[in-house]
Structure 1
Amino acid sequence: MGKSVGAVYNGDKKTEFCVWAPFAETVEVILKNREPQVLSQDNDGYWSGTLQNVEPGELYKFRIDKEEFPDPASLSQPEGVHSWSRIIDHKAYSWQDQSWRGRELSSMIIYELHVGTFTSQGTFEAVIDKLDHLEELGINTIELMPIAQFPGGRNWGYDGVYPFAAQHSYGGVEGLKKLIDACHQRNFSVILDVVYNHFGPEGNYISRYGPYFTDKYHTPWGSAINFDDEHSDQVRHHFIQNALMWLEDFHFDGLRLDAIHEIIDRGARHFLKELSERTDELEEKTGRKYVLIAESDLNDTRIIEEYSKGGYGLEGQWVDDFHHAVHTILTGESAGYYADYGKMEYLAKAFKQAFIYDGMYSPFRKKTVGNSPQGFAPSNFVVCIQNHDQVGNRLLGERLAELVSFEKQKLAAATMLTAPFVPMLFMGEEFGEKQPFQYFISHGDPDLVKAVQEGRKREFKYFFHSHSEGEFPDPQSEETFENSKLNWNFRKEEKQHLLFEFYKELLKLKKEGAFKLFGHNSLKTEADEEKKILKVSAKNENTGLHGIFNFGESGYIEKISGKEQPEVLLFSADKKWGGRSGLEDLFGSGELNIPPEAVVIYRS
């Protein structure tokens, strides 16, 4: 077992410093305006020592063989990624969430947000002011995009270089704890997006300390993080300790693990399994429930399979297939990886089992992808119709509201929220935000800025045809960042307000269990390719639940049997949702008349 890395304040003006640097000749800790102190090395390559008269708030660096760097396990970088680290006392915060126990993934309604663009202030504490909005909407879980310290003040968060430090410009340790505390007191769970597959390119000094990377494998960002090569035990410990810190010291309710297919570990006990087991131990210790959700494009159920069957035991995984199925049918886009989607039969398959590619050949990837999700609970799968990747990695960062009609936005929302999986909304989706969400950075190195600008341009050469029109948004420009901030005046715009009310109704019905039957093993799905119709139905002893989703441009008539008129739970084309029909227009004699781009959910 590795040691606690970083600077740990033990009270009585005593601080213990520890850093892993196995090949260093000497390691000293340098406190601002003090004499350097030499640390002593143990057999595992850790250098440590306890210093007297050193208190929280003081600034320090490590000197390794005459070179000075910030602490790779720094909890705070108040002067940026190249400067001093600051000592933080985790015990100083007075938590008010003692009765909080967390919640199961199966009951989560997740809302993904980017702290910097969610509010005009762009801080952790400013998010607290929007909890009324999220509560009214029906959200119970917030997922923060990565907040590990990155260069400058503008970034998606995937360029983080200090995994233990909460971004200073967002409000740092104190602001983050206040946000999580406020959320728990109002019955919101909070999940953090963490990046264990790469470090950002600027301020990334960790490799100067030891073999944190390996040339054995390569990822899209360069050499892979060393999870299974020589000296990997301490590297694994670094990231396990990081994950447990977010859960225990910051009270997060779970982690979303970025692109786990680039966490390359061929050892007997995969890093993710070890993380899952250590999280189980923490649950025993704290009496709280934690969830681990993996982002993976492999459609591999080993991630969520139980330990006894050789799995990693995570609670859930993101499913891109669901998003791609809905998006391609709504927009008609077929470039890039969207070429693998666009069929109604695929949407029907995604609605039933989340994975489309379940051991099926992918023409885009030119290989067979995935395995079968049969036997897994729907609550193991997190689905969306928009997220930061699918919006922000478009050249112009257009959201769905810019690409499809108002009726189609409602249709998409209903497809996601009636499906039996754990839903995730992307900030602003609930009111049809028109502002884009674009890719932005604030790097300090001009050569790096130029490389990112040119790299983004290259990336988009092949993807969306529509992208040839419109200006390329400069990632480094502050304007690109400002353009990506949410516009909170949606109630003044009739259709945006109606969309919000429609989402509210859907979420209310979902939480009441109105669509629960669609998660039953009796679920049947049927697709009509030509008319662009998806039909779903399920039944138990006394009730049948039916959904008809018309993605086509023409009306659709469905014959219904029985003398009694079915009970309509949701009709998206109803006048009260800004549509052109009333319930009286829906029923004919022994039939349902479903307008184009509309959905009806009913009980029989």
Structure 2
Amino acid sequence: MGHRLGTAGQARQHGDRRVDHGVCFNLWAPTAQSVELLEAGRPPQRMIGDDDGWYQWLSPTAHVGTRYQFRINEDLVVPDPASFFQPDDVGAPSEVIDTAAFRDPVLYPGRPWAEAVIYELHVGTFSEEGTYAGLEKKLPYLRDLGITAIELMPLNDVPGRHNWGYDGVLLNAPNARYGRPEDLKRLLRAAHALDIMVYLDVVYNHFGPQLNYLHLYAESFFTTRHSTGWGPAVNLEGQDGAFVREFLIENSLMWLRDYGFDGLRFDAVHALKDDSERHFLIELAETVRSQLAGRRVHLMLENEANQAHLLERAQGEAKLYDAQWGDDFHNALHVLLTGEDEGYYRAFADRPLEHLARSLTEGFAYQGEVFPLHDAPRGEPSAHLPPEATIFFAQNHDQIGNRALGERLSRLVSPEKLDQALALVLLNPHIPMLFMGEEAGADTPFLFFADWSGQAAELTREGRRREFAHFKAFSTPDMRARIPDPCDEKTFVASKLDWTAIERSPASVRFRGLTAQLLQIRREKIVPLIKLGFVSAQYRLLGEDPRTGGLDARWRTEKGDMLQIVANFADRELPLPALVAGECLWRLRPAETQALLPGEIIVRLGQET
């Protein structure tokens, strides 16, 4: 409903006339010789094709709830690639769903972007039930903590019982393992009733390796002109690319318009290869902004290219995208906290303190400099952007789950360093994000898991072990054998949050209290400054070692208010820099000393001395 690629649209346009009953089925299959509709309980119907590769059939007997599939070339039976629900998994029949019926007559107004405190979670591992209903029960807990937005890892359907969601096959169909579409809508309404925004992570740069049939009947959905780490790129160019662009944009609109999501996070957009005059990302954002004008809709990017032009503002509002995930900030902070320098941390291990300070005050650490891992320039100048154009975090699904053993920071650093990292993330003027359980210092792993079978499962296992072969800790076959099998159900189960520990262990209770306290300070003292706007930012490094030491970062508003963060990441005391005159919002160790203690962090608000 809403576009033609494989859409089952109730009471939709049929040819040149309107229909008032039944369902009009459409499939774009430009490389198919024939397409049949297999409607449950009815004889197969040969669909009518046109010169553009569209096949259509109006069924007078189909209705909401009808199950159906398509048969390609009288042989291959496939689900609807634009299915809105797969009640019995990806390879089974699709179900007709009227998502337009989910639209609320009175819309939740959302919240200003400056108020966003994002909590990223995976529906299947967040609660004991692993369902939308299980998450709904925990919403008051998140509200009381001070969370204003939850971000769901991808819901698009994938084969099997469990998956991160980034290998989606059917982009419009929320995974039946978590509940029905009606249950998802109920979750959003419950969150909105508590004034919690709901964001969704969507993936347009590739499709999963199993039960993705598009290349068999819509070969031009992909292109060999570009390649990605997942194979041929999604085709966004030319006439065929126009159909693909429409499909992906309509997917975004469906989540935002029909289900009522308050924003989307677009995964790895640097892999959306497009040489068109108007890049797909521009068209996507402009279309969403135009069609949903009047709503607070927040659009976020994961973008290794650090493209600041996508984050530009006009009269204080985002023209295209509200923010980008701040991987530079995370990577520099991780090096400072753990001392790790392998993998992508190598690009930040030379000057982690400077990389962190530059991220804090300018958004990106790499703004056109040569990136060591690619041996090529990376990024664009970003110092002119407001802090809220970057989302900062100390942990997320990627940075935990892409570790061989899925360890959280709580397993890697001392409680004192964990406290310091939390205070830094929550009290700086960028948009903060926590990963599920982080607010309580959870130590359960979050591992990479999938439920592939056959060759896909074996390739995933071997690929996972090969990925870590160059790390010292996994340099031998015996060491790599310790890496959990992603396709073993035990790996998925081990990644579930332990709510008994979160709610009862003294360490978790203390950490939850700290999180709530910091978020109250942010809400009362820092959010008003973000709304007012900062006109300048600067930093100074403390100490003589570029790989460790401390920093003094400051942001100034037009009215002269100064927010200052001083932090010491060294294992020794440092001289205390001049502090702004005014209010101490936070000091990790409140002792009034003239030295900056190891692990210290001070946040002050006032006037520059």
Same-fold call, TM > 0.5? yes
Going from structure 1 to structure 2, the CA distance change for 1:77 and 1:545 (only over 3 Å counts) comes to closer
User: What is the one-letter code of the residue matched to 2:592?
Assistant: F
Aligned residue for 1:453?
461
2:500 paired with 1:500: no
Does residue 267 in structure 1 map to residue 269 in structure 2?
no
Judging changes above 3 Å, is the alpha-carbon distance between structure 1 residues 54 and 494 closer, same or farther for their aligned structure 2 residues?
Answer: same
Question: Do the aligned residues in 2 keep the contact of 1:150 with 1:161 (CA within 8 Å)?
Answer: yes
Instruction: State the secondary structure of the residue aligned to 2:259.
Output: coil
Corresponding residue number in structure 2 for 1:409? 418
Tell me the secondary structure at the aligned position of residue 425 of structure 1: strand
- What letter is aligned with 2:574? Y
Cα RMSD after superposing both structures: 2.4
Which residue is 1:332 aligned to? 339
Task: Say if 2:302 is the partner of 1:314.
Answer: no
Q: Which runs of 4+ in 1 moved over 6 A?
A: none
- Identical aligned pairs, as a percentage? 37
Report the alpha carbon displacement of residue 365 of structure 1 after superposing the two structures with TM. Answer: 2.2
Deviation at 1:418, TM superposition (A): 2.1
Query: What corresponds to 1:75 in structure 2?
Result: 84
Structure 1 residue 26 displacement after superposition: 2.6
Moved more, 45-54 or 408-417: 45-54
User: Are the equivalent residues in 2 in contact too, given 1:109–1:422 (CA < 8 A)?
Assistant: yes
Distance 1:542 1:78, change over 3 A: closer
> Residue 104 of structure 1: CA displacement?
3.4
Distance 1:183 1:561, change over 3 A: closer
Deviations 1:548-596 (A, max 9, x none): 211122233426589x8x63211223xxxxxxxxx3xx224xx3x4432
- Checking the alignment, whether the CA contact within 8 Å between 1:150 and 1:159 is kept in structure 2 is yes
How far residue 12 of structure 1 moved from its aligned partner, in angstroms, is 6.3
Structure 1 letter corresponding to 2:393: C
Aligned mates of 2:564, 2:474 — CA distance in 1: 37
Q: 1:560 to 1:362 in 2, by over 3 A?
A: closer
Equivalent positions of 1:44-193 (< 5 A) are 44-67=52-75, 68-93=77-102, 95=104, 98-193=106-201
Unaligned runs of 5+ in 2: 12-18
Aligned length: 582
Report the CA distance shift for 1:505/1:230 in structure 2 as closer, same or farther (over 3 A): same
Superposition deviation, residue 509 in structure 1: 1.2
SS of residue in 2 equivalent to 1:30? strand
State the match for 1:281 in structure 2: 290
Q: What secondary structure, in the 3-state scheme, does the structure 1 residue paired with 2:150 have? A: strand
CA distance in 2, matches of 1:536, 1:304: 22
Aligned partner (choices 561, 566, 570) of residue 586 of structure 2: 570
Please name the residue that 1:382 is paired with: 391
Task: Give matches, 1:478-497, under 5 Å.
Answer: 478-489=489-500, 490-497=502-509
Distance 2:153 2:182 in 1: 18
Q: Distance in 1 between matches of 2:114 and 2:394?
A: 18
- 1:475 maps to 2:490: no
CA distance, structure 2, for counterparts of residue 542 and residue 373 of structure 1: 22
Indicate the SS of the match to 2:287: helix
1:312, distance to aligned residue in structure 2 (A): 7.9
Partner residue, 1:509: 521
Tell me the distance in 1 between the aligned counterparts of 2:556 and 2:311: 28
Query: Mean Cα displacement is larger for which, 320-329 or 548-557?
Result: 548-557
Q: For residues 35 and 237 of structure 2, what CA distance do their matches in structure 1 show?
A: 26
Separation in 2 of the partners of 1:53 and 1:317?
47
3-state SS of 2:499 partner: coil
Partner of 1:587: 592
Sort the Cα spacing of 1:420 and 1:268 in 2 relative to 1 into closer, same or farther, 3 A.
same
Contact 1:142 1:189 in 2 (8 A): yes
**Secondary structure at the counterpart of residue 247 of structure 2:** helix
Q: Structure 1 pair 435/69, CA: closer, same or farther in 2 (3 Å)?
A: same
Cα distance change on mapping 1:178 and 1:321 into 2, 3 Å: same
- Structure 1 residue 461: Cα displacement: 1.0
* CA pair 237-433 structure 1, distance change in 2 beyond 3 A: same
Aligned twin of 2:406: 397
Q: Return the alpha-carbon distance in structure 1 between the equivalents of residues 578 and 325 of structure 2.
A: 36
Question: How big is each residue's C-alpha offset from its partner over 1:453-476, in whole Å with a ceiling of 9 and x where there is no partner?
Answer: 000000011246478768211101
SS in 2 for 1:479: helix
Residues 148 and 543 (structure 1), Cα distance of their counterparts in 2 relative to 1, 3 Å cut: closer
Matches for 1:334-353 after TM superposition, within 5 Å = 334-342=341-349, 343-353=352-362
SS at match of 1:249: helix
Kept after mapping to 1: 8 A contact 2:151/2:199: yes
1:125 to partner: Cα distance = 1.5
Equivalent-residue separation in structure 2 for 1:154 and 1:597 (angstroms)? 39
Deviations 1:384-408 (A, max 9, x none): 1111111000000001110001111
1:429 paired with 2:441, answer no
Question: In 2 relative to 1, CA 138–47 (structure 1 residues): closer, same or farther, beyond 3 Å?
Answer: same
Is 1:30 paired with 2:57?
no
Aligned residue for 1:473, secondary structure, equals: coil
What CA deviation, in whole Å up to 9, does each residue of 1:7-39 have, x standing for no partner?
122396511111111233332211122111232
- Map of 2:565 onto structure 1: 547
Shift of 1:542: 6.3
State the Cα distance separating 1:108 from its structure 2 match.
1.1
8 A contact 1:509–1:515 mirrored in 2 = no
Alpha carbons 2:168, 2:208 under 8 Å: kept: yes
Q: Deviations over 1:316-366 (max 9, x none)?
A: 211210100110000000012211214212211111012011111222322
Q: Secondary structure at the match of 1:523?
A: strand
- State the match for 2:15 in structure 1: none
Work out the CA distance in 1 between the residues paired with 2:169 and 2:577. 59
Structure 2: how far apart are the matches of 1:561 and 1:414?
A: 18
What amino acid sits opposite 1:111 in the alignment? Y
**Counterpart contact for 2:362–2:537, Cα < 8 Å:** no
Q: 3-state DSSP class of the match of 2:434?
A: strand
Counterpart position of 2:599: 597
Residues 307 and 163 of structure 1: CA distance in aligned 2, closer, same or farther (over 3 Å): farther
1:580 maps to: none
Structure-2 separation of matches of 1:497 and 1:306: 40
Question: 2 CA distance for matches of 1:75 and 1:132?
Answer: 29
Alpha-carbon distance in 2 for matches of 1:352, 1:517 = 15
Q: Is the 8 A contact 1:270 1:312 kept in 2?
A: no
Q: 1:602, 1:312 → 2: CA distance?
A: 32
